[in-house]
Amino acid sequence: MYDTVIIGAGPAGMTAALYAARSNLKVALLEAGIPGGQMNNTVDVENYPGYALISGPELAEKMFEPLENLGVEHLFGRVEKIEDKGDFKTVIIEDEELDTKTVIIATGAFHRHLDVPGESEYNSRGVSYCAVCDGAFFRDEDLLVVGGGDSAVEEAIFLTQFAKSVTIVHRRDELRAQKVLQDRAFANEKIHFIWDSVVEAIHGDDRKVNGVTLKNIKTGEERQVDFGGIFIYVGLDPVSDFTAGLGITDELGWIVTDDHMKTAIAGIYAVGDVRQKDLRQITTAVGDGAIAGQEVYKYVTEHS
Ligand code: FAD
Ligand code: NAP
């Protein structure tokens, strides 16, 4: 029986493992892919304290390295289900079952893609899903932001500090974003709008993006427009399908926790991007992980 099974070895899960293991708990860290999570898809991280610049994979390695010496068991597998059996939980991975006193869910979120030609080809070569991370690489460029929600509008405003211009393309003629954000965007001279339009394709040369094909969905008209970078904000999806039936998510699938990272089920915690929260970053994931690692120690001690 484990004291805690942590699902997902991104920054949130690795930090939870660090704190739980340093409290002498028996810890399993389960990962379906390579440890590091989304950091493995990040070329440069410039907003992690202590490093002016570090590559995502290097930061991932630095977070993972100390865990082995602390006795954390690193297991490979994709979790399919968690069963709450009261005093303990069972984590089901394909054809294996792990019994544990507590579970920490750290499975992250997935940026929805447009699924248009050129999108995956130019990912990290002018196509980005994170303005906070990549914005500074696009100084004096004409940028396109796709989407009409809070993220698209907020990030478009953020990008104006670097870009020559920022154009928001939205599939309707009215934004979904909060009014206060809309007002700020409409008042910003660097921000332009293209309404009722969708991106049909993303183009570039052998190095990076140089434009898109836009289609007006009311008139059917198509045209090519040049841009030096494309930021896609058409929503995020939590990776929480395997919690179905536990009743710990909101209607969109984000896991709801309190400030101690506790879900509605005693002994089950959630940390990082999968959690219902405002700022999804490495720093906030790490903070959540530290809290949950400490909380499982308290839970295990109180229930032994
Ligand atoms: P993740 O990093 O998403 O890790 C979740 C892990 O869970 C993954 O490894 C996944 O394989 C695993 N997993 C999922 N489902 C299962 C399952 N069923 N069973 C087992 N394992 C599972 N933030 C910054 O602070 N600075 C940046 O510069 C920055 N750049 C970014 C660049 C890009 C391109 C992207 C996409 C994001 C960037 N972010 C950045 C955001 C940051 O990466 C995330 O906020 C952070 O990684 C979230 O950490 P997490 O541990 O919650 O989830
Ligand atoms: P979102 O609210 O789901 O908005 C996604 C936007 O993308 C919508 O405008 C949607 O259009 C558009 N869209 C979806 N699929 C598309 C497609 N295939 N092609 C073109 N456009 C598409 O997502 P979000 O903006 O990332 O926000 C997610 C959540 O985080 C929200 O609850 C939001 O309020 C919250 N958030 C809050 C803040 C804040 O409070 N400051 C900041 C950021 C995010 P339609 O409008 O036509 O549906």
Identify whether residues 101 and 169 lie together within a single domain. no
171 lines ligand 2 (CB under 6 A): yes
Give mean pLDDT, residues 137-151.
Answer: 96
Same domain, 18 and 152: no
Indicate which CATH number applies to the domain containing 126: 3.50.50.60
Q: Which of 202, 232, 262 is a domain's end point?
A: 232
- Residue 214 near residue 223 (C-beta atoms within 8 A): yes
Q: Which two tokens stand for residue 100?
A: 């544990």
Q: Which residues on adjacent β-strands are paired with residue 167?
A: 144, 192
Look up 130 and say whether it is catalytic: yes
Same domain, yes or no: 137 and 88: no
| Domain with 192 in it | 113-232
- Closest atom of ligand 2 to 148 CA is 9
**pLDDT above 80: residue 42:** no
Q: Considering 211, 232, 253, which residue would you say is the last residue of a domain?
A: 232
Task: Evaluate: CB of 40 within 6 angstroms of ligand 1.
Answer: no
Q: Give 224-251 pLDDT, tens digit per residue.
A: 999 999 999 999 899 999 999 999 999 9
What pLDDT was estimated at residue 132? 80
Average pLDDT over residues 2-29: 98
Tell me, in angstroms, the distance from the centre of ligand 1 to residue 40's CA. Answer: 8
Distance CA 161, CA 24 (A): 47
Distance 284 CA to ligand 2 centre (A): 21
For residues 146 and 7, what is the distance between their CA atoms, to the nearest angstrom? 32
Q: DSSP code of 181?
A: H
Residues 98 and 173 reside in one and the same domain = no
Shared domain for 83 and 180, answered yes or no, is no
Catalytic residue, from 3, 44, 95, 133: name it: 133
Judgement on whether residues 129 and 228 belong to the same structural domain of the protein: yes
241 lies in the same domain as 174: no
How far is residue 194's CA from residue 94's CA, in Å, rounded to a whole number?
46
- Ligand 2 neighbourhood includes 147 CB (under 6 angstroms): yes
Number of domains forming the structure of the chain: 2
β-pair partners for 198 = 215
pLDDT at residue number 185: 98
pLDDT score at 133: 83
**pLDDT digit string, tens, across residues 150-180:** 989 999 999 999 999 999 999 999 999 999 9
Tokens, residue 116: 């248009």
For ligand 1, atom 14, name the residue with the nearest CA: 107
Q: Of the candidates 205, 232, 259, which is a domain's last residue?
A: 232
Q: Residue 226 is inside which H or E element, if any?
A: strand 222-226
Beta strands in 51-95 (DSSP E): 54-55, 73-76, 79-85, 88-93
β-bridge pairing 268-270 and 165-169: unpaired
Q: What percent of the chain has pLDDT over 70?
A: 100
Q: Answer yes or no: do 145 and 96 share one domain.
A: no
Q: Name every residue whose Cβ is closer than 8 Å to that of residue 113 and which is 6 or more positions away in sequence.
A: 119, 120, 232, 234
Q: What is the mean pLDDT of residues 28-46?
A: 90
Q: Which atom of ligand 1 is nearest to the CA of 36?
A: 9
Q: Which residues lie below 8 Å from residue 51, measured CB to CB, with a gap of 6+?
A: 45, 59
- CB of 17 shorter than 6 A to ligand 1: no
Answer yes or no: do 124 and 217 share one domain: yes
- What integer is the mean pLDDT of 130-153? 93
Query: Is there a contact between 152 and 145 (Cβ–Cβ < 8 Å)?
Result: yes
Q: Is 250 a residue of the active site?
A: no
Residues 241 and 223 in one domain: no
Residues 48-71 have a mean pLDDT of 95
Q: At what angle do helices 282-302 and 11-22 cross, to 10 degrees?
A: 40
Instruction: For the chain, give the longest Cα–Cα distance.
Output: 68
| Ligand 1: residue whose CA is nearest its atom 37 | 38
Do 117 and 226 reside in the same domain of the chain? Answer: yes
Q: Which of 171, 172, 174, 277 to probe ligand 2 with, by most ligand atoms within 8 A of CB?
A: 171
- Looking at the predicted structure, is the pLDDT value of residue 45 above 90? no
CA of 122 to the centre of ligand 2 (A): 22
Choose among 187, 203, 142: nearest CA to 169. 142
Rg over alpha carbons for the chain, rounded to the nearest Å, is 21
**What SS3 state is found at 79?**
strand
**Mean per-residue pLDDT, 11-21:** 98
- pLDDT interval class at 33 (50, 70, 90): very high
- Catalytic: which of 44, 84, 134, 278? 134
Burial 241-264 (b: 16+ CB within 10 A, else e): ebbeebebbeeebbbebeeebbbe
Same domain (yes/no): 144, 251: no
Half-sphere exposure of 191 (CA within 13 A, CB side): 22
Average pLDDT over residues 207-232: 98
Residue type present at position 296: V
- In the set 44, 84, 95, 130, the catalytic residue is 130
Q: Is 150 a catalytic residue?
A: no
CA 295 to the chain's CA centroid: 23
Cβ of 113 less than 6 Å from ligand 1: no
